[in-house]
Structure 1
Amino acid sequence: MTVVSPLPRGPVTAPDAAVPFARDLARHGNRLAVVAGDDRWTYRELAQRVDAAAARLGAGRKLVLVSGANDAEQLVTYLAALAAGHVALLVPPAQAGAVAAAYDPDVVLLPGGELEVRRPASAHELHPDLALLMPTSGSTGSPKLARLSHENVQANAESIVAYLGVRDTDRAVTTLPMHYVYGLSVVNTHLLRGAAVVLSNLSVADACFWDLFRAEGGTSLAGVPHTFDLLDRVGFASMRLPRLRYVTQAGGRLDPARVGRYAELGRRAGWDFVVMYGQTEATARMAYLPPRLAAAHPATVGVPIPGGSFVIEPAPEAVSPDVGELVYHGPNVMLGYASSPADLGLGRTVTALRTGDLARRTAEGLYEIVGRRSRFVKIAGLRVDLDHLETALTRPGVAVRCTGTDGELLVAVSGPSADAEATAVRHEVASRLGLPARAVTVAAVADVPRLANGKVDYPALRELVSAAPGAAPPSAGTDATTPERLRALYAELLGRPDATLDSTFVGLGGDSLSYVEVSIRLEDELGAVPANWHVTPIRELAAARATAAPGRWRVRRLETSAALRALAIVCVVGTHAGLFTLLGGAHVLVAVAGFNFARFRLTAAGRATRLRRQAVGIARIAVPSVLWIGGVVLLTDQYGPLNVLLLNGLLGPPSWTSDWHFWFVEVLVYILVVLAALLAVPSVDRLERRFPVAFPVVLLGFGLLGRYEVVDLGVPHTMPVFWLFAFGWAAARASRPWQRLGLTAVLAATVPGFFGNSVREAAILGGVALLMWAATVPCPAPLHRVVSVLASSSLYIYLTHWQVYPHLDGIHPALAVTASVAAGIAAWLLAARVTALVSGLGARQGAARAASGTAPDRARGARPPADPSAGTADPHDPPAGRGCRSR
């Protein structure tokens, strides 16, 4: 066995049996071809790399296994195989070992980019027309492959380019892996046309994906139905994507209502929404719905692609005379299937593709899928072979039967030990499929229902599993999500292969940019994200389950601290602008600040790490405050130098003037600075760790001395509110009901009389009590994003509203409030861009100094900075500002 290092060599002459677009890359010259991290290759440079890779593959046709990840080396090797006449075998990375064992490839691209040439000549008979092998059964592990020819690959790419109107100026940021035929078609079509492909493994749920998309001028977006679930969650409808030309959807049926909604969204925003229909056996696409027809005919898949045609043939499962099996003809229809290496020498065994789908042709000439003949379902874009899955899951003494529909997999377990074995089956399903947990239901059944002929009655089985007393998605069970599965998820999303079962999100360096994607993926796995998940070890998360209600309009759970920040900042601005009067919001924010200080800063990390995080947290409050106030001082005479230096609380006048506008920021900084100094003392740090509840309770007692003016440090406003900060800290640490009851009693005894205003005191009492007793609060899904933005930008709203509402409240208080909130959000977004630029510069400098030569963390367009230790920070933003991590 020879291992060849990936060093460039001279070009080779491509044989006639090659895919033309892969062979002719150089004809596009100096146009941008590929962006992969910091690498940017022109077509001429890409062609040189492909030639060098082809030389490493050697002479003679070979079977070349590529894992199909969105990686530059995988792409180059794939193209080299197509260009030099070899046969490329694309498989998911997780299946590479199993497929390699089944098909014994001649060449394998190993992780890290090393090419293993196992033999100088192929061990297989490879048919001259064979160019590409693709798995056909999604993640079930079936060895069945679709045999695709050079003509199949080229013809389908040309057809897609034609009906989508792909331009050489287009740029596609990858949203799907290359081992999935839909994702591969995006790559093929853009390279055929001379457009650019931006390789990324980021999810559309990750803010970094959208930073990359905007930075690279993305013009197209491809998604399966699950992608659109994520798009709805991250507020895609409100995103500004100036270069976006079209959004495509395939990989399963999208709800017609959502098709109509996205079609209308695209019409308003200036991009096309294109529904497409295809199968691996047709290389990629068979039909598309012209964008102009999507709103009026959202239930259809449209018309055949250029060069293809449909025939509807009678089927016994048809429910009406106009319904039959959809059969496709076209140059992109595969040569046939391969189930073993012996099949690689076969020629064409298939002339038309029987899709297994039941369809009808509408009066407008459009095709509509109304059902499925075959035993396959599509879930999250993956095509699952139910028969193969049944065989794989069944073991001696345990019978497993699978059924379902697109988007739902139902598994029945029967046998003497069905109840006990259901747990093992849950593990197996989760590890084999890699699907959103809520899409799979497992139940133990006494008997499998059967028809008179002895065959399984699958419709009855579906009803039986759905109605079984213990039936629930793995997200609702106790054993469905294994700790190892979550560990792998953390390792992937955070770029930390060293993650262990005892790791936490914060401990692994999770930041605001990865928080969103990790929380959404955890929600898929667990049903709902537990409170304090970010500091919970992975092994404990795997045991924490909650059931999430289905549907886009379901009521979601929002962290109480975030809801309080959003509500409090609206109350502060609304009260100041005279829209209404509801005092106490700022004081609730002080308690929230203490609560989040305990959550995000007082982790199990070492003392030095804690202090570093505290210093960063202080800076993220102080720096924007100083910059804003300094700018106001330069332009007006409203404030003075003490305000700029945040020293008015220490050295300013005792009476209330406009100089006290920023008392909240000053007091918060004072508290955090003092606590950082206190916890820097090793003995104090040890005390806090040993007595996590008693320590803040003692500080609470000290704060109450200021509350009741027993102690006067001569610092107005500081001591009287420190007890609220300490109270929030203690509330975060109180884990037992009697501790919360005791704190509630203290709260009820100490808040009344603080202001002499019963309404204000009731607001503080209610807000802090809610913070202590409710980890989350219900929030309608459409408002979830709004509340999160308000919470995240609350510091900036607080800073800027003093300069906005006075100019508008004379016109109307509502206008003043709206403008103040808008200005604060704008300042928050601007701060994000500045932070991104600074972080990006630092990352590039760090990368230049790094001896390893690894790519720096991507920091383009980081989410707006927010400090989780502050009352104005977003708990969905732990520790922010480090920029997007390349993955």
Structure 2
Amino acid sequence: MRRVTLLPAPPTGGHALPFAHGLALHGDRTAFVTSEGKISYRELADRVADTARKLGPGRRMVLLPGANTVDALVVHLAALAAGHPVLLVPGDHPEAVEALIDAYDPDVVARPAGGVWAIEERRPGSAHVFHPDLALLLSTSGSTGSPKLVRLSYENLQANAEAIATYLDIRDTDRAATTLPMHYCYGLSVVHSHLARGAGLLVTGLSVADACFWELFRSARGTSLAGVPYTFDLLDRVGFADMDLPHLRYVTQAGGRLAPERVRHYAELGVRRGWDLFVMYGQTEATARMAYLPPELTTSHPGAIGIPVPGGSFSLDHVDEAPGDDVGELVYSGPNVMLGYAHSADDLALGRTVDALRTGDLARRTEDGLYEIVGRRSRFLKILGLRIDPQQVEAMLERYGLSALCTGDDEALSLAVVRRPGWDVRRIRRRVVDECALPPRAVRVHIVAEFPRLPSGKPDYPAVRALGERPAETPDHGGSGPDDLCALYARVLDRTGVTPDSSFVGLGGDSLSYVEISLQLEQRLGGLPANWHTTPIRELAPREPQGANSQTRHRTRLETSVALRAIAIVCVVGSHIRLFEIRGGAHLLLAVAGFNFARFLLTSAERRERVRRTARSIARIALPTMAWTAFALLVSDDYDWTNLLLMHNALAPQIMGPGIHLWFVEALVYILLVTLALLAVPAADRAERRFPYGLPVVLAGLGLLTRYELVGLPERSQITDAVTVFWLFALGWAAAKSRTVPQRLLVTVAGLAAVPGFFPGEPRREAFVAIGFVLLVWLSTLPSHRRVNQAAGALAAASLSIYLTHWQVYPIFDDVSEPLALVAALLFGIGYSTAVTRLTRWTGQRLRRVRREG
């Protein structure tokens, strides 16, 4: 029997945080490595001291949206060094930020504004009374945005940093990558433990799935990686096992259970490649870490969490639901146990209310002195009188090669299972029914492409539970409840697995589907909520009637972008028929396209997902165009092969005639392709995220160089229109990203200055484009009427199809009646759009059915 040796506790004490205010002691050693260069500890100390002076001498609460950037880390360290309690919140979750601002009323808010980090002082002093030990407030796992926070002390932070640095043997030559979010206790512990040893950090927000991450890791001589189970899934996908990483010393894993065979696989890989695997166990309530498995034991005990961290200890408390006499609830004691929870700002003055941490995990101690987790107290369910352990259900399915998350309530189990050939809902349900002796109606199975996850990468069990709150296939009855709206989103977006926590943008919605859903919501909810496209479905509720009379009807509004699309396409067709002369509609549509591109495609999703969605949007434009062009080739002489391939505008822009009819579609496709290529570059993707307003402004400036023919290009008639009209798309993009009045003013001035002279001798055309652009920038909605909304929505949703088909439709009726020709062209385009949409959805359903059956 092998005994393990516990390391001694590191020395700690006092109410200060040595590693935060002692940065300068490490001199010229490298503290941070970024894609832009290196920052020494001396330089970091100067920046921290300068920021600390800005925060002021008196203690104030500093709310900081966590981000893996130098600026965010500087503010964090400055606040800790100067004694200001820090409320660290998810930087990629604006709703959580606002919720915690409302709940805790911080004195200072530090966050990015206009591409730089700004310190917003909400009051000169503090509105709160703080306990002297209070250093940091963190959300618990799965409680993003909840007012319940973990209160951590300076001793907690220093003790846990020193303990981790001790058992990992962190050296001042080490360099760890920030592979996890800073606001997540595991990610923050990587930062703290390395700063405590004078080691370096590779500060990056790149995913391990990004090739640029590995370029930075190699060039910076990275020595360690930290990951949650999902990180290891990504490592498998990118071929980590075959990478040449000569300086890698160790890999750490925490944030959830990694299957024992995966632990053994990575431990053996480390032995072959010369690095160690540390499996760790922790909770936010223990600052970060409570246990680790020594690397030499990972292959022989891959299911264990190991031994307590230096300075900590475990005990097992008897509980009635324990599956054996040797199993009890795991209780941890140590200097890193939190002060307690905070539920409101009044709790900030509290001292220690917790001495030992009841983890909620059921564990046993092996003969070797190692601890193993065997279940979770709070996860046990009692369904129809039967006691069910969801973790055991997950383990059972794992034996069949299925990756599953299991949760539920008093009525049923809810499972999210990653799709695998040969397994469908019925077969999986049967396995669970047989294992748990539950009736089939109490087992709800949902096949998913991948698990829902929290920003930290941990499984999102509340989202899985939400999947189980409704049947997998919920009919859309046209109601306004969450289930009805989920069905609406699923139908229009042709998506499965829509939950009340889903949003339009999160589901990959684009400008083509935006119109249909927005009009449906207007009708069902009695009004279109602000920012509905980024709002979770569960937060969309019908509006109450306003005024003293409960029968008073709400004022109907129409989104400005929808109105402009409808007006512009009518003007395009009517002008081509010569029923009237209001030109400029196609150019206005380009600005609207840029506006919608920024709203729907430039989301917080990872780079690959944004690229995929942009490519899908291009396909939704290009494929129907090519299909219609092929038909037009059969029935007329309007087009040739260059039109069919969407290349006429590029190969023969100087040739006028019918071939030029599709210039708008070709220009839009070219612009989107170039934008796709740009954002596929990691550096450009990072620049857009850091400077969401600045990047399109710069691109608009470059576009204006071609607008004013300042770069030596041929005359406009000799080059593709995409080059000369790109500035309109970029200004629309910038308009969507404008957040302040000065930003909107700059975009407006640029548009109003650039439009005049672009259409020589056509002042009415220029006025039409300019007025439409100003409305787009300054007004999100316009007064309307329900029937106007229905008509505008149909026209806007079909605007591309109407533009595409009207060239062949209106001549049939033009000699009979120009108004009839206009109506016919509009109706035919709407019909073609509807047919394409239905065909696309049918094809998607067929493909999914084939994949399930295969």
Q: CA deviation at 1:403?
A: 7.0
* TM-score normalised according to structure 1 size: 0.49
Q: Kindly provide the amino acid, as one letter, of the partner of residue 503 in structure 1.
A: F
Task: Write the mapping of 1:609-648 to structure 2, written as runs, cut at 5 A.
Answer: 610=670
Give SS of 1:114's match. Answer: strand
**Equivalent position of 1:21 in the other structure:** 19
**Equivalent position of 2:737 in the other structure:** none
Q: CA deviation at 1:335?
A: 1.1
Task: Check whether the contact 2:134–2:152 (CA below 8 A) recurs between aligned residues.
Answer: yes
Q: CA deviation at 1:679?
A: 11
Q: Kindly provide the amino acid, as one letter, of the partner of residue 496 in structure 2.
A: A
**Equivalent position of 1:329 in the other structure:** 333
Q: 1:499 to 1:364 in 2, by over 3 A?
A: farther
Q: Kindly provide the amino acid, as one letter, of the partner of residue 80 in structure 1.
A: A
Task: Write the mapping of 1:786-801 to structure 2, written as runs, cut at 5 A.
Answer: none
Q: 1:375 to 1:63 in 2, by over 3 A?
A: farther
Task: Check whether the contact 2:263–2:299 (CA below 8 A) recurs between aligned residues.
Answer: yes
**Equivalent position of 1:152 in the other structure:** 156
Task: Check whether the contact 1:505–1:536 (CA below 8 A) recurs between aligned residues.
Answer: no
Task: Check whether the contact 2:454–2:460 (CA below 8 A) recurs between aligned residues.
Answer: no
Match among 45, 48, 63 for residue 46 of structure 2: 48
Match among 263, 271, 277 for residue 273 of structure 1: 277
Q: CA deviation at 1:521?
A: 8.5
**Equivalent position of 2:260 in the other structure:** 256
How many residues are paired up?
A: 502
Task: Check whether the contact 2:30–2:40 (CA below 8 A) recurs between aligned residues.
Answer: yes
Task: Check whether the contact 2:180–2:456 (CA below 8 A) recurs between aligned residues.
Answer: no
Task: Write the mapping of 1:523-538 to structure 2, written as runs, cut at 5 A.
Answer: 533=616, 535=618
**Equivalent position of 1:101 in the other structure:** 102
Deviations 1:664-719 (A, max 9, x none): xxxxxxxxxxxxxx996889x9xx999999x9xxxxxxxxxxxxxxxxxxxxxxxx
Deviations 1:122-175 (A, max 9, x none): 221111111111111434432111111111100100000010111111111211
Using the alignment, how far apart are the partners of 2:191 and 2:453 within structure 1? 29
**Equivalent position of 1:111 in the other structure:** 112
**Equivalent position of 1:185 in the other structure:** 189
Using the alignment, how far apart are the partners of 2:671 and 2:615 within structure 1? 21
Using the alignment, how far apart are the partners of 1:248 and 1:260 within structure 2? 13
Q: CA deviation at 1:203?
A: 1.4
Give SS of 2:66's match. Answer: coil
Using the alignment, how far apart are the partners of 1:143 and 1:402 within structure 2? 29
Using the alignment, how far apart are the partners of 2:417 and 2:357 within structure 1? 24
Using the alignment, how far apart are the partners of 2:410 and 2:118 within structure 1? 41
Task: Write the mapping of 1:291-690 to structure 2, written as runs, cut at 5 A.
Answer: 291-374=295-378, 440=464, 442-444=467-469, 476-477=496-497, 481-486=502-507, 502-503=596-597, 518-519=607-608, 533=616, 535=618, 607=667, 610=670
Using the alignment, how far apart are the partners of 1:176 and 1:407 within structure 2? 25
Q: CA deviation at 1:36?
A: 3.8
Deviations 1:279-301 (A, max 9, x none): 11111100001111111111110
Q: 1:125 to 1:401 in 2, by over 3 A?
A: farther
Q: CA deviation at 1:479?
A: 6.4
Q: CA deviation at 1:400?
A: 10
Deviations 1:707-735 (A, max 9, x none): xxxxxxxxxxxxxxxxxxxxxxxxxxxx9
Give SS of 2:359's match. Answer: strand
Give SS of 2:316's match. Answer: strand
**Equivalent position of 1:285 in the other structure:** 289
Task: Check whether the contact 2:334–2:356 (CA below 8 A) recurs between aligned residues.
Answer: yes
Using the alignment, how far apart are the partners of 1:269 and 1:431 within structure 2? 31
**Equivalent position of 2:577 in the other structure:** none
Using the alignment, how far apart are the partners of 1:237 and 1:347 within structure 2? 47
Q: 1:444 to 1:86 in 2, by over 3 A?
A: closer
Give SS of 2:214's match. Answer: helix
Task: Write the mapping of 1:841-860 to structure 2, written as runs, cut at 5 A.
Answer: none
Deviations 1:19-41 (A, max 9, x none): 01101000000001113442521
Give SS of 1:175's match. Answer: coil
Using the alignment, how far apart are the partners of 2:510 and 2:279 within structure 1? 30
Q: Kindly provide the amino acid, as one letter, of the partner of residue 476 in structure 1.
A: T
Task: Check whether the contact 1:132–1:147 (CA below 8 A) recurs between aligned residues.
Answer: yes
Q: CA deviation at 1:483?
A: 2.3
Using the alignment, how far apart are the partners of 1:271 and 1:196 within structure 2? 18
Using the alignment, how far apart are the partners of 1:362 and 1:131 within structure 2? 37
Using the alignment, how far apart are the partners of 1:356 and 1:259 within structure 2? 23
Deviations 1:457-507 (A, max 9, x none): xxxxxxxxxxxxx9xxx9624566432225699999xxxxx9979539999
Task: Check whether the contact 2:142–2:460 (CA below 8 A) recurs between aligned residues.
Answer: no
Q: Kindly provide the amino acid, as one letter, of the partner of residue 126 in structure 2.
A: S
Give SS of 2:467's match. Answer: strand
Q: Kindly provide the amino acid, as one letter, of the partner of residue 219 in structure 1.
A: T
Deviations 1:175-218 (A, max 9, x none): 11111000000000111111111221111122222222222221
Deviations 1:749-796 (A, max 9, x none): xxxxxxxxxxxxxxxxxxxxxxxx9999989x9xxxxxxxxxxxxxxx
Structure 1 residue 60 and structure 2 residue 61: aligned?
Answer: no
Structure 2 unaligned regions, length at least 5: 1-12, 382-388, 391-408, 419-424, 426-444, 447-451, 472-489, 512-532, 535-591, 624-643, 652-661, 678-716, 725-799, 808-834, 841-845
Q: 1:607 to 1:363 in 2, by over 3 A?
A: same
Q: 1:275 to 1:606 in 2, by over 3 A?
A: same
Using the alignment, how far apart are the partners of 2:128 and 2:348 within structure 1? 7
* TM-score normalised according to structure 2 size: 0.51
Q: Percent identity?
A: 52
Using the alignment, how far apart are the partners of 1:117 and 1:505 within structure 2? 30
**Equivalent position of 2:243 in the other structure:** 239
Task: Write the mapping of 1:668-817 to structure 2, written as runs, cut at 5 A.
Answer: none
Task: Check whether the contact 2:414–2:468 (CA below 8 A) recurs between aligned residues.
Answer: no
**Equivalent position of 1:74 in the other structure:** 72
Structure 1 residue 90 and structure 2 residue 94: aligned?
Answer: no
Deviations 1:238-276 (A, max 9, x none): 222121111111111111111111111111111111110
**Equivalent position of 2:400 in the other structure:** none
Structure 1 residue 168 and structure 2 residue 251: aligned?
Answer: no
Using the alignment, how far apart are the partners of 2:270 and 2:317 within structure 1? 35
Q: 1:477 to 1:270 in 2, by over 3 A?
A: same
Structure 1 residue 230 and structure 2 residue 234: aligned?
Answer: yes
Q: Kindly provide the amino acid, as one letter, of the partner of residue 483 in structure 1.
A: F
Q: 1:25 to 1:603 in 2, by over 3 A?
A: farther
Q: CA deviation at 1:71?
A: 2.0
Q: 1:85 to 1:775 in 2, by over 3 A?
A: closer
Q: 1:478 to 1:611 in 2, by over 3 A?
A: closer
Using the alignment, how far apart are the partners of 1:255 and 1:74 within structure 2? 34
Give SS of 1:108's match. Answer: strand
**Equivalent position of 1:717 in the other structure:** none
Give SS of 2:269's match. Answer: helix
Query: Which has the higher mean CA deviation after the structures are superposed, 529-538 or 111-120?
Result: 529-538
Q: 1:365 to 1:518 in 2, by over 3 A?
A: same
Give SS of 2:597's match. Answer: coil
Using the alignment, how far apart are the partners of 1:476 and 1:228 within structure 2? 26
Give SS of 1:189's match. Answer: helix
Give SS of 1:46's match. Answer: helix
RMSD across aligned C-alpha pairs, in angstroms? 5.3
Give SS of 1:141's match. Answer: coil
